[in-house]
Structure 1
Amino acid sequence: MSIINSILKAFVGDKSKKDVKELQPLVDQIKSFESEFEKLSHDELRNKTLYFKQTIKDSYKDITDKITELEMEVQESNDIDKNEDIYTEIDKLKEEAYKLSEETLNKILPEAFAVVKETAKRFAANETLTVAATENDRKLSGEKDYVSLEGDNAVWKNSWDAAGKQVTWDMVHYDVQLIGGIALHQGKIAEMQTGEGKTLVATLPLYLNALTGNGAHLVTVNDYLAKRDSAWMAPIFEFHGLSVDCIDHHRPNSDGRRAAYNADITYGTNNEFGFDYLRDNMAHTPKDLVQRPHNYAIVDEVDSVLVDDARTPLIISRSVPEGDRHEFNELKPKVSEIVQKQRQHLTGVLAEAKKLIAEGNSKEGGFLLLRVYRGLPKNKAFIKFLSEEGVKQLLQKTENFYMQDNNREMPKVDEDLLFVIDEKNNRDRAY
């Protein structure tokens, strides 16, 4: 096999080297911003994030305005069919907005990555960074010991606690880490050896994708890494006004965990992300959900998460509220009453259908026969009548007529039925 691989490389080339070569122009673009950004003040550097966010919003502003109009139209309308069409259009517009935001992210990637690199460089070169205090700075000063206020200014330290260990920031992105960040943003697997700075690599695409406001997740294999990395990298993001949290700090279904998912950047373990997804699928109301729509995620140690751990299924169960209440027993009499009413009604309809068919009025007789078939196809008297010569063919011919043009005429058949049993599509529909 090694001989074959060697021959292939000789003619085709090394795939990984080709991929890296293709990304090199982007790396060069990122580095081209260095001299320009070095001249910016700390506040001017932070303002780049506001500029990026506005650029993304402007890229699909027309679509956002259209969605707002449609949502207002839904609120004012009581037409269910019309509202369903409007919601379908809204979903299409949201998909279009997402595509436009992705295109914008790809355009601003070099400059955005350069902002993160310059931020890392300044934290590594300075014990403190003094900036004009924003509302976010004031909030963080009451929660984090690495942010303090001095009059109208906020002072950021380059040393903080990361999961019980005091760290002083000393990392700056190398070219290999820029390449890894680009690959991760493009949805590819970036294979890096221990010590090559995988944790730092993730700051680049996380920052970029968090700019949309739709959230970015980093999935790790154990809670220590999730808590450590979220605390270790947080100041780099928070310096630019982005919020960071770790779901493993909060109990399931708690307000804290819900807030963690609403953060711009969310760290957590694969099992907790998975179980929260399962719990959300068991929720009865929107307010019970903790996760918001998924946008972008990086999976750390992807082979462990998606191969090794994936062999063990996530199983969840819960107690049934009002376990002594059996809704089946409550609903069965009501359902039986509806079925009985329809049976009595269709017995008369079947008798009328037989009479009309016997008189040679196959059009009206076939119409009533189809109505019986739609309402009670398993009725013994009906089944027996179908065995008579020509009756089944008449039913088939009538059904074909009313099914044409996407069942357009079928409501005329169903209009006086309490429910319809559609045997062909294996479903019931009540009226």
Structure 2
Amino acid sequence: MRNSLGPIASLLLGIGFLLSGNGLLFTLLPLRGAAENFGAVGLGIIGSSYYVGFVAGCVLAPYAILSAGHIRAFAALVALAVTVALAYGLAPNVYAWIGLRLLNGFCLAGIYLVIESWLNSSTTNDTRGLLMSAYVMVNFGAFTVGQFLVTLYPVEQANSFMIAAILASLGIIPVALTRSAQPAPITIVRFHPVRLYKAAPVGLIAAFMVGVANGAFWSLGPISAAGSGLDVSHVAMFMSAATLAGALSQWPVGRLSDRVDRRLVLFTVLTGASLVGLTLWLSAASGTLLIVFGLAFGALTLPTYSLAAAHAYDKTPASETVPTAATVLLANALGAVVGPLLASAVMRAIEPRALFLFIAGTQALLATYVFYRTKVQPSLSVDEKTGFEMTASAPAGTMLTPEVPDPRDPSVAVPDDYAQEPPRDNR
């Protein structure tokens, strides 16, 4: 294991620092915005703008990387992310934060793309599963740690923004000093929504609807938890509990879906998540009980994207891997743009805890559609499935795919000076 992880240890360390800072911002910004009286709708727009930037980064960042190279593009994106983190504290108003959050999303999409293309090029048939699993766990772990950092300073102060900027700055050091050779292939986003809908309607619709629900949760969950009577430390525990439980449930839920119809598994977890969400709203739970509900909510909610992506891979040919990954990712991101806007309107009309009513309703609606599809389209046999790949299905980045991208794929851009190697067979 040491020999396998050694060459990418610096990349994992760098992304760990960066995502710790990003996790801090995801919890800090709604809490600070609430303290500044931005209002639920203002916070919803700020949350949506992050995902608008993320979509833009998925589309445009590959061209910047092709032009400047991995390390220079990475350094530029991290420098911009550091600037944005500091600017939040300097300009605490709704309009400034909308623009800053958009830039934040753009930077993170580009940073993910650099790291993931680097990791893809570092894998072999024997090491791909281990390396990518380590990467996914670093994502979840760093994000969880970052959420706890919100407790270090009062949210009304600028200190936490400085911590986020420091962590982002530290992230560039191990990557800039890595001795690993730069990879060349960069995934250029190619969308095939009509083709994917015809092949796997549940995959596409579920990716979008999961984005609606989860985008609302990540953007507005902290202020909803605070509205239930939690202080900052307990808000951090609630969000971290949901993240950790979601990370731990990915693998068992995914493996179960290898044995039975993935749509039935998706229907089951969606139903359970909607019931937990409804309970969170009706019970007015607080303190330890709310954190327990957070564990259940995260365990049932976060694997839904993985199931949608895995179902999409099942229903599309191996030659369509990259366009399928791109389309599922962008459908999810577009849903995340819509989710905070709709949820914030519900919260404003009812109460902050109504976020969970909105999420429960979204999940129940999707569960109904998924159940309908199980009745009109037969299940795939076990042999027809691709096999669950947490590395390709976890909502952790931009363009991880079940296979190393083939430089000859039209969805993969290759610089002129790249010495093409035979594609690896990762099946």
Same fold per superposition (TM over 0.5): no
- Structure with more of its chain in helix, by fraction: 2
Q: TM-score, normalised by structure 1?
A: 0.25
- Structure with more of its chain in strand, by fraction: 1
Q: TM-score, normalised by structure 2?
A: 0.25
